[in-house]
Structure formats: C-alpha cells, structure tokens
Amino acid sequence: MTDARRDISAKTLEYLIGRTALGDKKAFAELYSSMAPKLFGVCFRILRDKQEAEDVLQDAFVKIWQKADRYAQGRATPVAWLSTIVRNQAIDRVRMRGKPTEQIDDHFDLPDKDPTPEQHTISGQVAKQIDLCLEELKQDHAQCVRRTYLGGWSYQQAADELKVPINTVKTWIRRSLLSLKECLGNE
Amino acid sequence: MNSVNKSELSEKERWLAAEFAMGVLEKDQHDQASMLYDQNVAFQHEVDTWTSRLTPMLDDVEPQMPSPAVWSQIENRLGLVDSQTPAEGFAAWWQSVNLWRGLSFGTSAVAAIALAMLIYGNPLTAPQTVPATQDLVATLTAEGAGPAMVARLDRENGHMTVLTNMQASAEHDHELWLVPQDGNPISLALVEAQGSADLQIDQAILDQLGEGATFAISVEPLGGSPTGLPTGPVIATGQLRTI
C-alpha cells in the first residue's frame, strides 16, 4: 500500500474539510494525521522552537475545526487554506515575540535544495510550475522570496537575515511577486 | 462579512493582499490586512489567489512529526473526547421532531407551518441575477443543531455538490427543495442522510438559483414526496450565497 500521506489529493482534502465542517470527528482526525507532519514542518521552520511550534499547530487545528465551514466561501486550494491558517498563526506568534528570531544554526542558513522529483509535494503539480517561475528570477531574488516565505520573515527580518537594506528587500520581493504573478497566471 | 462587496481594489490594497499572503507585513499592517480579509470579498479573493500561487513553495519544507500530545490537546480543547458527537446531537433533535409530529396528528400540518414560515414569514431577499460563472454556497442548518448539509453550486456547469450529515432512517428519505419566493417548492433531489452527492441541475431551475435562493430539506416517505410537494417536516433550511 502506498503511503496515504504522500498521495492525499486536493479532492480528498476538500472532502475531509467539508466533513469537518459538518462536525465529523473522524474526518477531522484523518485531516490531522495526513496534514500535521507537513504543517508542523511549516510551523517549526518559522518558529525554530519545538514547543512553540506545537502550541501553534494546536491553535491552528482548533481554528481549522471552527472555521471549516468557511473553507467553501474562499477561493484558495485546500492546501493553501490549511497552510495559511497555520502560517498566520505562526507569524502572529513570531511577531509577538517583539524581537528578532534568535541566531539560527548554520544548517538553517543553507539555501534550500531544489526539490527532487522523488520529493513528495503537498500541492501536486503546481510545485513544478513555481520552481520554473522562480528560476526565471535572478538567483538572489528567488532565494530571497523562497527563504522569506518559508521563514515567515517580515521585510525587516528579511533585511536583517540577508544583510541588505530593507528597501532593497522590498524592491526584490515586490518585483519578484509581479514576475511570479505573470509567470503563474491567475489561478 | 461582505460589507465592501465586489468593490474594485486600489493599487495599495492589491499590494497589501500580496504582501499579506507572502507574510512580510509587520504586526500592525498584518492585523489590518487580516481584518480587511474578513470584511472585503474582493480583498479576500485577491489574497486567496496569491496564497494559492505561493503555497507550492512549502513543498520544500521537510515534514516533521509533532508529539502525540498535540492531538490529545486538540481533542480536549474542542471537547471531541467522550462527548456527544454531532450526529447524536442531531438524533436527540430528531426525536423531538418525532414527538412534535405525534402531537400534530401527522406530518403535513407541521410541514405546512414550516413552509409557510419559509415562504411568507421570512423577509427573504429576492434572488438576484448573478454572473453565470460565479460559484455559490449554502449551509443548511437545523435550529439548535449543527449544519445538516453544505452545498456548492457551480452555475457555469449546472453542477451542485452536496455533503450531508443527517440522522439516517430506514423508514424515511430526505428530499431537497428549492423554495421560490412565489409559488410552490420545487423538488431538487433525494439526498442521502450521510455522504456526498453530485447533482446535475436543469437550466430552468438553475435560472432561479441566485444569491439568496432558499433551500429546504424535508423528511418524506421512502422514494420521496408522493405529491410533488413537501409532506413531512422541514428539518433544515439555508440560503445560497455568492462566494
């Protein structure tokens, strides 16, 4: 049997979110077991602290249960909807610290390796598309966008981390977003 | 929600949406964007579109196992452990409906009252014409219980997906109705008590399914209403909303 966690489709996720909106506890548990590892990775990447990341994951899933009926009102893909709740919760937390994130271990500062074909994706084929689009950007701009997004950095944090002036970071990111929009299209 | 519905976004708001989705805003602006997201549909759509574009970057994040305590804490906080499940809650409510039916010498009186309230008693907004490409959603709820059905209508393809969570019964079927502002309810389909279904909607009915159109679910004899009109109690109602 293939690992269900790897192959969970957008359609399945949509179904599980729909069942969750109806108060189906089993569907919610399934949603948790299929998505928690990935979403925990997302939290941890932003917070760099296991305990805090677990608190945030917990808060986020409480929200997912409470807001599941609002999923259908939005236009995000199921993965985008779930990860937005998690990211926003983590970003709120990190911004509340009111101080820059602690110095990070060196290995965190390594650029992300390009995803290999074997690496499973949580969002299916679109991943390839965004990698292609990022490749079209200047390398340092692409790295800046990727690391800022994954790190949940504010413009200021990105400037501190990358040791470039904040206005430069803003320009890089805004310019990159425009290119990405053009490259990726509307949906 | 939807207070600033459909307004065109300014250049500044479009950037705010992109930067909010990106997550780069400082706390004040982030909170402001978060509020706007709840109030302005156009802004919400802009953010959602950006989010869907950017999320694939998260594929690079290594999954990690959170400790098992996280799930138990979630269950505890939401009261999911050893508590009444929503279906049981629904069953209790269902029994009270049965009792009610017993007291009213049958089902049609109750249905008539419920539908009369639906048709005449509620100041329903008139269904409005909407662009044919827009999707609409409806959540049908029963008083005092959680949602009994959620529906999503794809107007363009005349396709409606429904998910249901009702008390199953071997003696009854559940029938889904469109309740027009004027005239009799129109039967749309029999729906399973628990599950999902894809319904194909005729063009004539589709024309009536705009913003504010009302759905109702009634309990009917097996095989559906013998008269073509609801004969059993209406157990849940809800209105279509543009998304």
pLDDT in tens, A132-172: 899 889 999 999 999 999 999 999 999 999 999 999 999 99
The topology under which CATH files domain A104-187 is Arc Repressor Mutant, subunit A (1.10.10)
pLDDT of amino acid A122: 53
Where b means 16+ CB within 10 Å and e means fewer, B18-30 reads bbbbbbbbeeeeb
pLDDT of amino acid A108: 42
Residue B161 contacts by C-beta under 8 Å, 6 or more apart in sequence? B151, B152, B154, B196, B197, B198, B199
CATH number of B86-242: 2.60.40
Q: Of the candidates A18, A146, A156, which has its C-beta nearest B57's C-beta?
A: A146
**B131 pLDDT more than 60:** no
The arithmetic mean of pLDDT across residues B154-169, rounded, is 83
Question: Would you kindly state where each structural domain of chain A is located, as residue ranges?
Answer: 1-99, 104-187
Q: Within chain B, which residue ranges are assigned CATH 2.60.40?
A: 86-242
**A26 pLDDT more than 70:** yes
Judge contact between B189 and B197, C-beta under 8 A.
yes
Confidence band (pLDDT; 50, 70, 90) for B91? very low
Q: Which of residues 46-75 of B touch A (CB under 8 A)?
A: 48-67, 69-71, 73-74
pLDDT of amino acid A124: 52
Q: Which of residues 152-171 of B touch A (CB under 8 A)?
A: 152, 163-165
Q: Is A173 on the interface with B (CB under 8 A)?
A: yes
- Crossing angle (nearest 10°) for helices A50-67 and A25-47: 140
B7-60 tens-digit pLDDT: 589 999 999 999 999 999 998 999 999 999 989 999 999 999 999 999 999 988
Cβ neighbours, 10 Å, residue B197: 16
- Separation of alpha carbons B55 and B37, rounded Å: 18
pLDDT of amino acid B4: 46
More confident site: B162 or A29? A29
The arithmetic mean of pLDDT across residues A26-53, rounded, is 94
- Separation of alpha carbons B143 and B217, rounded Å: 13
A67-96 tens-digit pLDDT: 998 887 777 889 999 999 999 999 999 988
- Residue B15: list chain A partners with CB under 8 A: 174
CA distance B103 to chain A (A): 30
Query: B46, B57, B141: best mutation site toward chain A, by most A Cβ within 10 Å?
Result: B57
pLDDT of amino acid B16: 96
More confident site: B225 or B131? B225
- Separation of alpha carbons A163 and A165, rounded Å: 7
The arithmetic mean of pLDDT across residues B101-121, rounded, is 38
What is the number of CB-based contacts under 8 A between chain A and chain B?
192
Judge contact between B118 and B179, C-beta under 8 A.
yes
**B81 pLDDT more than 90:** no
Pairwise CB contact (< 8 Å): B70 & A79: no
**B88 pLDDT more than 50:** no
The topology under which CATH files domain A1-99 is Rna Polymerase Sigma Factor; Chain: A (1.10.1740)
pLDDT of amino acid B140: 83
- Separation of alpha carbons B97 and B91, rounded Å: 10
More confident site: A105 or A177? A177
Cβ neighbours, 10 Å, residue B87: 20
pLDDT of amino acid A61: 97
CA atoms within 13 A on the CB side of A52: 18
**B189 pLDDT more than 50:** yes
Task: Kindly compute the dihedral angle of the four CA atoms of residues A25, A30, A32, A35, in this order, to the nearest 10 degrees.
Answer: -150
The first and second tokens of residue A139, run together, are 């390398």
CA closest to B86 among chain A residues: A23
Cβ neighbours, 10 Å, residue B237: 24
pLDDT of amino acid B172: 84
Pairwise CB contact (< 8 Å): A72 & B150: yes
pLDDT of amino acid B119: 38
